[in-house]
Structure 1
Amino acid sequence: MKKSLAFFWIYHHPGPRLQSQHVWNRQQLSAGYRDVGEFNCFNVSLPNITIYATGGTIAGSASSADQTTGYQAGSLGVQALIDAVPQLCNVANVRGVQVFNIDSINMNSSMLLLLSQGIQDDLGSPYTQGAVVTHGTDTLEESAFFLDLTIQSDKPIVVTGSMRPATAISADGPMNLLSSVTVAASDNARGRGVMIVLNDHGGFLGGFVNIQPIFYDPPSRPPGHHHLTCAASDDGVDVLYAHQDLNVGLFQAAIELGAKGIVLAGFGAGYWTDSGSVEIRRALQDTDIPVIVSRRTGWGFASSNGVEGGIGAGFLNPQKARIQLQLALGTGLETEAIRIIFEHRRAMFGTRS
């Protein structure tokens, strides 16, 4: 989902320092954290913003300026991204952290947990007022939601990317980065959770006038939002997609392959085929794994009506439902506690089916 300032619902304190305040440990450095740079410029009146680079198209390069497909994602370092936007010095004191440099299709939960923990630690410092994450757009939505569920801070966190590589004519990455840092540096962006900024367009929370963010409403979080803290998030959760001629054995196969939870991307409001529903009921007699019922449609509300024993995902699409379930399992929650988390979000919207 590619929106600008279409923020996901998931501190400006003077006290800047010239060099990085956080020192990554040896394990973090070997896992990907490196090049914790000093500020690109320094003005005591500006907030300090950390840019966490993970790769993607925004850091991509191609063999020619007119090549916008078939490029190498994640080939430029974070300092190159910062150097390409000297106007950042008018907005904030910016430093870069090269976390990873990958195509976002290769992002995984272990990487996201490392990123989340690093941002959480950094935002705990009075010298850091906000964070920006550069990311590939293919899985940007999933990573933003993961961070929204795992980071507990009122300070702004913005995730951004681009549709064209850095080497392309009219590359959109530099403007997206400038807009993102501007949002992260804004006092009005506090208390809104993790936000996505792309392409200088308006979204659910606000819009831009030039590069200045204009928010429609005071800060708030979505009803039923949960903060999930876990030391690991590698519990296997599979997503099964409904379609005509569905192989009813896929559900049992996922369990046999080690799935600790399953998300169903069902028809309409979360319905499964009749024969597939029978198979799910049979399988759930022998196991207590949580089954989250979502929908394959672009938008809508999914209840558990279509699958006996399932847990309705509400407005969460399959990708987000998978992440919330995975984190809940990683926190050690049992099926009934997981049901409460999902249904709490739904109950706040007045639906308990």
Structure 2
Amino acid sequence: MAFVLGLFFVFSAQAQNLPRVKILATGGTIAGAGAAADQAGYKAGALPIDQLLSAVPQIHKYATVTGEQISSIGSQDMSIEIWMKLNKRINEIFSKNEADAVVITHGTDTQEETSFFLNLTLRSDKPVVFTGSMRAATAISADGPKNLFDAVVVAASPKSKGRGPIVVFSESIFDGRDIVKTSSTHMEAYTAPNAGPIGQVYDAKPVYYQESARKSDKNTPFDISGVTKMPRVEIVYMYADANPSLINALVNEKVDGIVIAGVGNGNFNKAYYDAIDAAVKKGVVVCRATRCVSGRVVLKDEVDDDKLGTIVSDDLNPQKARILLMIGLTKTKDKKQLQQYFFEY
């Protein structure tokens, strides 16, 4: 009896000394359920967080884990409202010392956007780790349990502090700013085209090779705790012989900003140029980005940005440029300052 009690106190002490990791579940494929294990079809966000945790009992060796359900959606339905809910809840978790780290389970389709939104707006440098899966929880060789295990291990590591939100997927660790989904169906769906992964996790051991030079978390000026509504920023795609009617329609709808997913170095045709010129003169902030997978958009190349009144996205793709412009507009409409944001964050 004394021996059993002794073991109980030893394990209790070990549990008390483990990092506390709070898992915030939003849905996605990792919580998906399908009619058949050998078929791709499934319903995203069908399984609750408790069921996901029960599939990975080994994580309790590395952290004291608790979970909360934030939403139960496929990430194609991710919204600014949920982003702001996540921002508020994570800041609250850390300010009230409810956990030492947060893991977010999230669908892969828009995970790169959510991770960048939080990269800019969180007010703590404690670890925030995203993960998901490409196969539903009910599929053969589902990748969700291993990704969730790796995400908890990375979140529990003291090496993960101060790096901003990161994404753990298929044993690779990516910076939340740089990650992009580059495959619609392959298991290794993510890359960071301009930077590469920042580390790996293998055999429950995270190893980091590099860190981002961009500022994140509390080192940004983007405290949105008092923001109730985000400025409206939309994306317009450029292609051969593109018609500018979408730009004109958005101007008529009085959007705050437009990101142009341009060709090459953020370029566009004469019809777009004229429509953008008119939009800028009506007070719409227009940012030139590129539809290319990698590279930068630089100032005053084929387009004279000073003359046209546009800004550039630097190395952010259109969907991430939209987020930074949207958040930047909560602080200022000064285009020089907005441009500096793109070079700094």
TM normalised by structure 2 equals 0.83
Q: How far apart, CA to CA, are the structure 1 residues paired with 2:258 and 2:88?
A: 26
Residue identity (%): 37
Whichever residue aligns with residue 258 of structure 2, its letter is I
Aligned position for 1:67: 39
Q: How far apart, CA to CA, are the structure 2 residues paired with 1:342 and 1:220?
A: 14
Once the two structures are overlaid, the 10-residue window that deviates more, 73-82 or 247-256, is 247-256
Aligned position for 1:56: 28
Q: How far apart, CA to CA, are the structure 2 residues paired with 1:169 and 1:192?
A: 34
1:236 aligns with 2:232: yes
**Structure 1: where are the runs of 5+ without partners?**
1-40, 346-353
Whichever residue aligns with residue 146 of structure 1, its letter is F
Whichever residue aligns with residue 226 of structure 1, its letter is T
Q: CA deviation at 1:249?
A: 2.8
- Runs of 4+ aligned residues of structure 1 deviating over 6 Å after TM superposition are none
Q: CA deviation at 1:279?
A: 2.4
Query: Structure 1 residues 200, 325: CA separation in 2 closer, same or farther (over 3 Å shift)?
Result: same
Q: Secondary structure at the match of 1:330?
A: coil
* Residues 1-353 of structure 1 mapped to structure 2, 5 A cutoff: 43-68=15-40, 70-201=41-172, 204-217=197-210, 221-222=213-214, 226-230=220-224, 231-285=227-281, 287-305=282-300, 306=303, 308-331=308-331, 333-344=333-344
Q: How far apart, CA to CA, are the structure 2 residues paired with 1:50 and 1:289?
A: 40
TM normalised by structure 1 equals 0.81
Q: Secondary structure at the match of 2:92?
A: helix
Q: CA deviation at 1:319?
A: 0.6
Aligned position for 2:187: none
1:217-251, Cα deviation, whole Å (9 max, x unpaired): 4x664269734122234321110100011112322
Whichever residue aligns with residue 206 of structure 1, its letter is G
Q: How far apart, CA to CA, are the structure 2 residues paired with 1:181 and 1:156?
A: 10
Query: Structure 1 residues 127, 110: CA separation in 2 closer, same or farther (over 3 Å shift)?
Result: closer
Once the two structures are overlaid, the 10-residue window that deviates more, 70-79 or 304-313, is 304-313
Please state which structure has a larger fraction of its residues in helix. 2
Q: CA deviation at 1:341?
A: 1.6
Q: How far apart, CA to CA, are the structure 2 residues paired with 1:42 and 1:66?
A: 41
Q: Secondary structure at the match of 2:87?
A: helix
Q: Secondary structure at the match of 1:49?
A: strand
Q: CA deviation at 1:334?
A: 4.0
Q: How far apart, CA to CA, are the structure 2 residues paired with 1:223 and 1:110?
A: 24
Higher relative contact order (CA 8 A, sep 6+): 1
> Contact 1:233/1:330 (CA < 8 Å) preserved in 2?
no
Q: Secondary structure at the match of 2:248?
A: helix
> Contact 1:242/1:272 (CA < 8 Å) preserved in 2?
yes
1:153-195, Cα deviation, whole Å (9 max, x unpaired): 1111001100000001110000000000000000011111000
